[in-house]
Chain A
Amino acid sequence: MRTGYVVFEIRRAFRDSKFFLFAVALPVGLFVLESNVIRDVPASYLMGSLAAFGAFKAALDTGARTAVERGIGWQRQLRLTPLTGAGYLTAKAAVAMLVALPPVAGVSLAAALLSGVELTTPAKLATLLAIWAGIVPFALLGLLIGQLATPQNLQAYQGGVVLVMSFVGGLFIPVTSFPAVLARIAEVLPSYWLAEIGHSVAPGGGRIGQAALVLALYTLALGVAVAVRYRRDQARP
């Protein structure tokens, strides 16, 4: 419907080469580092964790950057066009999803080339696709942060959420090495379940069905939160 607007946003997203370089280089670099340091888990497991990390961070960051558009009054400008709030948020979420693809591809490629992780079976490629599909709640979480933060405190919000999701969710350090209490807490986070999808490529597999259910519930809850918050924000004088 609003293809002109979606194309406009995609061009903006892909023009930001610094953002892209960082979005891909960070998870790839972490994978190379960890696969050489952490010896007690297979490289395919680390690949699942870090592909999930790269994907959710790219999506969340993209969504959260709407705080700037809100802060400078660009969203007000858009309200003076036929673009609806739903149209705006959907386009932003779609772009966030798109931006999350290169990090998944980058980590997978590094795993295949440097650590010899076998990725050629359809089932394993499907897993990579499932990681990507699983980041919808993170794109929404980013949009929610974008509605709550100001351009000035955005970094703090965004950085804090990414750190908790990554460390506590077990994406940087495998949950298997967590103390029992922390491992229980990890299971509350959507990032844990996103990584769980990724871990299905590793020996031992992952609880795909349960992960899909948790992520779907997060999607629902965050979708409602974004919609309610956006409506309330627009009703402000």
Chain B
Amino acid sequence: MTTHAVAARRLRKDHGGTRAVDGVDLLITPGEVVALLGPNGAGKSTLIEMITGLTRPDTGEITVFGDAPVAAVRSGAVGVMLQEAGLLDDVTVQEAVAMIASLHRAPLPVEEALRRAGLTDLAARRSARLSGGEKQRVRFAMALVPGPDLLILDEPTSAMDVAARRDFWRSMRDFGAAGRTVLFATHYLEEAEQHADRVVFMRDGAVVADGPVSVVLARVSGRTVRAAVPDARLDELRALPGVAGVELRGGRAELRSADADAVVRELLARFPGTHDIEVIGAGLDEAFIRLTEEEAAS
């Protein structure tokens, strides 16, 4: 059996009377890139704190590369980028990253960590004079410099503008290409869609969906067909095979279906006047809303 990068079983953690994490099981295989999603208060941060050894679970077990989390972090196997971790105003980028490197046994060269984080030109600048996005890059460099096998990132691209975000994910891809494991929490659903192999949704302290991005998307009933159908009535559209839901407004129909291709064929066969056809994939955004609604209703 291979050692999992992260192996968590039945994790529970109470925070001041409320259950922040309520029975989470999570296995991450080395090399996976996993996105952790969920609304605020879903327990993502508490889960990350337990994986990084900052907090101990009340019950349940957790290992990182077969070790206790604290031991794994101290060995340099885990690089962590915390969203709220402060930086020292009086210290330059170079000094901060070099100091973290000096604590580790086999760190990356400081120049390499700075280059990967896009900080080469800012090396001599003190943290007090960095923008929010630049500070995020410093946190990223501090997470990279131990030369970790597992990188854990809490909201890595918050405070970054669009260009910085693109550069960030490019350097993440370079890092992941070496077969390393990445776990990141994000609010940007398109980031999970574009950069993760696997998505873990949390809500109310529990995992409500876990799987490849495509599988999680399929759980929320495929795609939507939009078209102008001038001569159709609502009940006729509803009767089309494979249609899960219909809306009709001013001659424009919106049909949801698991098999959009079949719906398009039927539409054209029965209503030759159909035009302006669009097929839209249900995004992770929609999946996210439906998953959280679904759970709330049940």
Contacts and interface: CB of A to CB of B under 8 A. Distances in A.
Contacts of B85: 73-74, 76-77
Given A72-B86, A73-B86, A76-B85, A4 B103 contact: yes
Interface in B43-78: 46, 49, 52-56, 73-76, 78
B102 interface: yes
A152 to B, nearest CB: 15
Contact of A8 (B20, B86, B95, B142): B95
Interface in A45-83: 69, 71-74, 76-77, 79-83
Contact of A237 (B13, B88, B90, B146): B13
Secondary structure type dominating chain A contacts: helix
A77 B86 contact: yes
A96 to B, nearest CB: 17
Most buried by A among B55, B75, B86, B142: B86
Contact of B103 (A11, A12, A72, A81): A81
Contacts of B98: 4, 8
Contacts of A72: 86-87
Contacts of A16: 90
Contact of A11 (B73, B76, B95, B104): B95
B156 to A, nearest CB: 15
A5 interface: yes
A71 B85 CA distance: 10
Contacts of B80: 80
B82 A80 contact: yes
A90 to B, nearest CB: 14
B84 interface: yes
Contacts of A80: 52, 54, 73, 78, 80, 82
A76 B99 contact: no
Contact of B55 (A8, A15, A82, A237): A237
A2 interface: yes
Nearest to A82: B74
Contacts of B105: 82
Interface string A1-39: 011110010011001100000000000000000000000
B99 A4 contact: yes
Contact of A82 (B84, B95, B103): B103
A12 B96 CA distance: 11
A162 B13 CA distance: 41
Given A4-B99, A83-B103, A74 B13 contact: no
Most buried by B among A72, A76, A77, A83: A77
A81 B100 contact: yes
Most buried by A among B15, B75, B104: B104
A3 B103 CA distance: 9
Contacts of A12: 88, 90-91
Contacts of A79: 53-54
B58 to A, nearest CB: 10
Contacts of B95: 8, 11
Nearest to A84: B74
Interface string A74-103: 101101111100000000000000000000
Nearest to A83: B103
Nearest to B75: A82
B84 A73 contact: yes
Interface in A154-190: none
Most buried by B among A3, A12, A79: A79
Interface in B134-179: 142, 146
20 contacts: A4-B103, A5-B102, A5-B103, A8-B91, A8-B95, A69-B86, A69-B88, A72-B87, A73-B84, A74-B85, A74-B86, A76-B54, A76-B84, A77-B85, A80-B73, A80-B78, A80-B80, A80-B82, A81-B73, A81-B100
Given A15-B90, A82-B75, 14 more contacts: A4-B98, A5-B102, A8-B99, A11-B95, A16-B90, A72-B86, A73-B85, A76-B54, A80-B52, A80-B73, A81-B73, A81-B103, A82-B105, A237-B13
Interface of B: 13, 15, 20, 46, 49, 52-56, 73-76, 78, 80, 82, 84-88, 90-91, 95, 98-105, 142, 146
